[in-house]
Amino acid sequence: MAIEVRIPTILRTYTGGEKSVGGGGDTLAALIDDLEANHPGIKDRLIEARDGRVDLRRFVNVYVNDEDVRFTGGLGTELSDGDQVVVLPAVAGG
């Protein structure tokens, strides 16, 4: 299964400088595991344990076909062949 994942500048140290990489998985969680297998270290930059469960990091936005996954089931968001995934760190501060 081929899913294109757009990688932000700050995480390209894990992808050898590549702006986008391919991955596979039925869900976002599975895709992130697949990315981790090929780009070790990237998973920890995307997810964290919070309140006893694993979730996307608060200040990392992930979009599947332009939809913010926070509104489509988070890590459980279902994926299909040809989906486009974009990872963007939040632009935020105090």
Alpha-carbon distance of 38 to 72, in angstroms, equals 26
Kindly state the tokens that stand for 93.
């501060």
Q: How far is the CB of 37 from another protein (least distance, A)?
A: 24
Kindly state the tokens that stand for 28.
């976002």
Farthest-apart Cα atoms in the chain, separation: 40
Site for another protein in 9-68 (CB under 8 A): 9-10, 59, 61, 63, 66, 68
Q: How far is the CB of 10 from another protein (least distance, A)?
A: 4
Closer to another protein by CB, 20 or 27: give it: 20
Asked if 8 interacts with another protein (CB under 8 A), we say yes
Closer to another protein by CB, 9 or 52: give it: 9
Kindly state the tokens that stand for 55.
């979730």
For residue 23, give the H/E element and its range.
strand 20-23
Report the interface residues with another protein, using CB under 8 A.
8-10, 59, 61, 63, 66, 68, 70, 86, 88-94
